[in-house]
């Protein structure tokens, strides 16, 4: 077991969520980093019109936290909910950050997490701003084929940024 994994196991708290249970909601304070052991989490925003915009799906092995809550203690800007029964480890970011101050291995793990998180956000931003809905769907199927089978058509459409009806038309065209 790596030093990083030992830190997570020793200082983290196991969180068991049923489908539909929230780890946190938009506007909450939550300074934890979540490590998904099993299941699937969905990170989403509630828009002013009440509609859901899905930011990401997080399967086994994924790590997530609200960066504004972790860095500044501000309220979370998105919600994190279990799409299916999920077990995650919640680790207070301060424990990880403090440990990284005195341990180069943990510091490198933290830099790795932040790099992966930034890369994932940049790729998602590019997709939303530069690709057509059909291309976003194709990228999603190519990069996360197992996720498409684990989420509803409505969630898949909300992730791509279109209506379920528009997604049905894209699927028909691509067959």
Give the model's confidence band at 2: pLDDT under 50 very low, under 70 low, under 90 confident, else very high.
confident
Q: What is the pTM of this model?
A: 0.91
pLDDT band with cut points at 50, 70 and 90 for residue 106: confident
Q: Does residue 1 surpass a pLDDT of 70?
A: no
Q: What are phi and psi of 52, to 5 degrees?
A: -90, 135
Q: What is the pLDDT of residue 114?
A: 86
CATH (residue range 3-103) = 2.60.120.10
What 8-state DSSP symbol labels residue 27? Answer: T
Q: Is the pLDDT reported for residue 42 higher than 80?
A: yes
pLDDT digits (tens, 9 = 90+) for 118-140: 998 999 999 999 999 999 999 99
Alpha-carbon distance 165 to 175, whole Å?
16
pLDDT digits (tens, 9 = 90+) for 47-104: 889 889 999 999 999 999 999 998 889 999 999 999 999 999 999 999 988 999 999 9
73 or 17, which is more confident: 17
Residue whose pair of structure tokens reads 């500044």 in the numeric block: 72
**pLDDT computed for residue 6 by the predictor:** 85
Tokens 């399967």 appear where?
59
Q: Say if CB 85 and CB 39 are below 8 A apart.
A: yes
The angle at the Cα of 93, spanning 57 to 30, to the nearest 5 degrees, equals 65
């Amino acid at each position: 077991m790596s030093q990083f994994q030992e830190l997570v196991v020793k200082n983290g708290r196991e969180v068991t969520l049923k489908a539909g249970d929230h780890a946190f909601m938009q506007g909450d304070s939550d300074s934890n980093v979540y490590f998904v052991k099993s299941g699937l989490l969905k990170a989403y925003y509630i828009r002013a019109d009440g509609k859901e915009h899905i930011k990401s799906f997080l399967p086994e092995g994924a790590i997530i936290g609200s960066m504004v809550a972790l860095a500044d203690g501000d309220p979370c800007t998105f919600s994190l909910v279990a799409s299916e029964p999920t077990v995650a480890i919640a680790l207070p970011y301060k424990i990880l950050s403090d440990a990284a101050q005195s341990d180069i291995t943990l510091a490198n793990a933290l830099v790795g997490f932040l790099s992966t998180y930034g890369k994932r956000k940049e790729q998602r931003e590019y997709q939303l701003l530069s690709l057509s809905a059909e291309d976003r769907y194709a990228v999603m199927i190519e990069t996360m084929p197992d996720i498409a089978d684990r989420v509803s058509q409505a969630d898949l459409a909300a992730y791509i940024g279109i209506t379920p009806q528009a997604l049905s038309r894209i699927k028909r065209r691509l067959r």
